[in-house]
Copies of this chain bind each other. A is one copy, B any other.
Amino acid sequence: MRKPVGKKAKAAAPNDGMANGGMTDKAVVIGLNAAIVTVSDDQPKILVVPRTGTNIAAPESWDALPFGPFDPLHHRTLDLGLRDWVQEQTHLALGYVEQLYTFGDRGRNAMEVNEEGAHVVSVGYLALTRTHDGEQEDAAWRDWYQFFPWEDWRDHKPPIIDQTIAPLLREWAAAQAEASAEELTRGKRRDRIRLCFGLDGVQWDDEKVLERYELLYGAGLLREALRDGRQNARARYDAEGREITLGLPMQFDHRRILATAMSRLRAKLKYRPVAFELMPPVFTLYELQKTVEALLGLHVHKQNFRRLVEKGGLVERTGKVTTRTGGRPAEQFRFRREVLNERPAPGLRLAPSKSRATS
């Protein structure tokens, strides 16, 4: 295979797929889904809109991520297309935008076809925006932990893990017999559970949001799995006969996109100064810390956080102080944009504090 010497007339074969007929029946429509995130009141919020086809403004039906079609005629790139309709629909100033993943799943918690029968492929995006007060009429901010109650470890290990998730997953692991071949290569169920949910002494990994979601989905424990008619999905009930729901479901595969966004954002925080996109121009270090903690779902060691941020040259003093709730006044800082031109990967590579103390 040293030299690329064509030996057949059909040397160009690999590309023929694009060149010759039958292409238009492979046409799809691209939907751009945005996970637009902000943090306010120390809570990460995700922008949701009413689900497609809903006219009733019932709060439960606000379970979709905003999305819009990508029109190749009007937009030069996918990113521009996204910015455009987000701007148009929400009037939000998006600070940071990042493409997450392209989902083309059929029959797997995605929208199969749209109203005209076209297949839809959805490109997920993560976008960050500063809190702003302007009332939105057709969009609302929701605490993202409503959809992922097991992801918030700030106050304590979420009880839902030991009380509900672990038992149900163990049950599923016990039914290993029915494991598919695909699954065997991905490791035994028990191991996946341990690693994902930090059981048996394994350390909790804040970045595994998507893995955990996929695991729960695969185990048939999420409403979406039920809806999609997954094999081992079935409704479960607690002692009082109420259906067990692990977090609020979302339309289509939107919860999966949100999980992807959370994973990506939590990872990114550690090597890119993205947290500042969510801060006002001037802030105290503790405010910054609270924002980061909200996103990570973890507490960090206060003094070490300060050391990291200051020594890392990520902020500069403004000289001003703020007299807020009790205690010594806090100094106010501002993001040092120049750091982007100095260090290669300026982020907040932080470790969760083991002690619960925030002193």
Question: Which A residues contact B (CB, under 8 angstroms)?
Answer: 1, 3-15, 17-21, 23-31, 48-57, 59, 62, 64, 66-73, 75-78, 81, 85, 89-90, 99, 101-108, 114-116, 118-121, 123, 133-142, 187-188, 191, 194-195, 202-203, 205, 208, 340-341, 344-345
Contact = CB atoms under 8 A, between A and B. Distances in A.
A57 B344 CA distance: 43
Nearest to A57: B6
Contacts of A115: 18-20, 23
Contacts of A6: 50, 56-57, 137-138
Contact of A67 (B18, B59, B70, B73): B18
B118 A66 contact: no
22 contacts: A4-B62, A5-B59, A13-B89, A14-B68, A15-B50, A17-B69, A17-B85, A18-B29, A18-B120, A24-B116, A26-B29, A26-B70, A26-B71, A26-B72, A27-B27, A30-B104, A76-B105, A76-B106, A77-B105, A81-B104, A99-B101, A194-B341
A18 B3 contact: no
A84 to B, nearest CB: 11
Contact of A344 (B3, B26, B202, B340): B202
A345 B64 CA distance: 32
Given A30-B28, A69-B17, A203 B11 contact: no
Nearest to A123: B102
A272 to B, nearest CB: 12
A78 B73 CA distance: 24
B69 A12 contact: no
A149 B52 CA distance: 50
A57 B4 contact: yes
A204 to B, nearest CB: 9
A5 B72 contact: no
Nearest to A191: B341
A158 to B, nearest CB: 19
Given A8-B137, A19-B53, A191-B341, A28 B31 contact: no
A102 B66 CA distance: 19
Contacts of A27: 24, 27-29, 118
Nearest to A56: B6
Nearest to A105: B77
Nearest to A52: B15
Nearest to A13: B138
Contacts of A10: 138
A14 B344 contact: no
A357 B85 CA distance: 55
Given A3-B59, A7-B137, A72 B28 contact: yes
Contacts of A56: 6
Contacts of A19: 52-53, 114-115
A59 B119 CA distance: 38
Interface centre among A6, A31, A81, A120 (most CB of B within 10 A): A6
A344 B205 contact: yes
A119 B28 contact: no
B64 A15 contact: yes
A103 to B, nearest CB: 8
A66 B1 contact: no
B17 A50 contact: no
Nearest to A205: B344
Contact of A72 (B50, B104, B205): B104
